[in-house]
Structure 1
Amino acid sequence: MSERIDVQVRPGRDGDLTALTDIYNHYIRETSITFDVVPFTAEQRRPWLLSHPEDGPHRLMVAQFPGPSGRILGYATSSPFRPKAAYATSVETTIYLAPDAGGRGIGTRLYEALFAALADEGVHRAYAGVTLPNAASLRLHERFDFRPIGVYEEVGHKFGAYHDVAWFEKRLG
């Protein structure tokens, strides 16, 4: 593990869009962690950004070096779990870090802020899908009391290989 660093965690905003898109595009181009296969422009990602307001159950939390011009190091989101109304009290969570930001406690800080923001939002369950293998993500989700609930075997095909996705659940309410 690398040395822990001081970061500021705050709600995402419009000015973050390019940096957030760059972080996500790294995972599209270089990993099977996301099953998107074509990188996005910032404008293509704008609807995603706008779907995570500063209040409500669907949040975007951003970690950056302290100060107004600090580099963005990662983000965490809570998004709709499924589109049907009966799923409204469930969210799907995710974290993406800048490629050089792992192992420094940033994911932990992001999830702490995200779950604190969700505490009064009527969210009953959080779910997370983790493409395997991904030891760092598994450790993070275990640390936050997510429990394994199943594996979709060979559900995604990227970079010429099939990939499993492990699913986790966290009780919130």
Structure 2
Amino acid sequence: MLEEEYEKTRRRLPLHLRKPETERPFSFTIRPVEDRDIPDIREIYNYYVTNSVVTFDEKKWTLAQWRSKLEHLRKLKMPFIVAEAPTGQILGYALVQPMSTKTAYRFSVENSIYLGQAATGKGLGRALLEALIAACEEAGIREMVAVISDKGAEASVALHEKLGFVEVGRMGRVGFKFGRWLGTIYLQKSLKPVKKKGLFSR
């Protein structure tokens, strides 16, 4: 029977007699970011800029901004990873950046994780954060800090706490987006660096 004929026959069957369609298994590969990933990364991030308060950015990022950020993080040898589907689509990404430009902060970073909408609720966030932590330890980073919105990011707070992050403070009403005031939650995790020297050692 041709596929088209099968599908027509299937649609005529009562619901209780139809065979459920098999879902494709959710799979991905986590790897270091590449230049070609930037368009997908921009789309993922800009969704949150325009639709949520998990980021305090109010204007969409351009490709040029993302390319500049990638180049800057590469120079600092900061971990920046992506989760790629078998089709080549980027499902999510995770990165760290310096907490401050002051050199005394050179062993401490702030992390960010964002998932495409089709990839949420499937364990990808945890896989990315675990891989990011491992990459930071390999790079000699000692402290990782997550700065999370106190509205709409409950899943992110829970994920970080499951992986050993501890709440160390809060700031109220420091952001204003979509006509409302927002605060931030600070979570911190001490790492176990593999290398003796930090990636910013002078």
Superposed pair shares fold, TM > 0.5: yes
1:143 aligns with 2:145: no
CA distance in 1, matches of 2:175, 2:191: 29
**Distance change >3 Å, CA 85–CA 32, structure 1 → 2:** same
User: Which of 131, 140, 155 is the equivalent residue of 1:113?
Assistant: 131
TM-score, length-scaled by structure 2: 0.79
* Count of residue pairs brought into register by the alignment: 168
User: Which of 59, 66, 69 is the equivalent residue of 2:79?
Assistant: 59
1:80 corresponding residue in structure 2: 98
CA distance in 1, matches of 2:189, 2:43: 29
CA distance in 2, matches of 1:55, 1:10: 18
Q: Which deviates the most, 131-140 or 11-20?
A: 131-140
Question: Which amino acid in 1 is paired with 2:177?
Answer: K
Note the 1:83-98 alignment, pairs <5 A: 83-98=101-116
Aligned-pair CA distance for 1:120: 2.5
Query: In 2, are the aligned partners of 1:4 and 1:104 still within 8 Å (CA)?
Result: no
Aligned-pair CA distance for 1:64: 1.4
1:129 corresponding residue in structure 2: 147
1:170 aligns with 2:181: no
Q: Which deviates the most, 142-151 or 37-46?
A: 37-46
The answer for unaligned runs of 5 or more in structure 2 is 1-23, 193-202
Deviation digits for residues 50-95 of structure 1 (CA, Å, limit 9, x no counterpart): 2233983x111101113xx421111000110111000000010110
Q: Identity of counterpart residues, as a percentage?
A: 36
Other structure's SS at 1:36 match: coil
CA distance in 2, matches of 1:24, 1:4: 25
Q: Compute the RMSD of aligned alpha carbons.
A: 1.8
Other structure's SS at 2:160 match: helix
1:22 aligns with 2:43: yes
CA distance in 2, matches of 1:144, 1:4: 25
The answer for unaligned runs of 5 or more in structure 1 is none
1:5 corresponding residue in structure 2: 26
Q: Choose between structure 1 and 2: higher helix proportion.
A: 2
Question: Which amino acid in 2 is paired with 1:128?
Answer: A
Query: In 2, are the aligned partners of 1:4 and 1:103 still within 8 Å (CA)?
Result: no
Task: Tell me: higher relative CO, structure 1 or 2? Use CA pairs within 8 A at least 6 residues apart.
Answer: 1
Question: Which amino acid in 1 is paired with 2:127?
Answer: R
Question: Which amino acid in 2 is paired with 1:40?
Answer: W
CA distance in 2, matches of 1:52, 1:111: 18
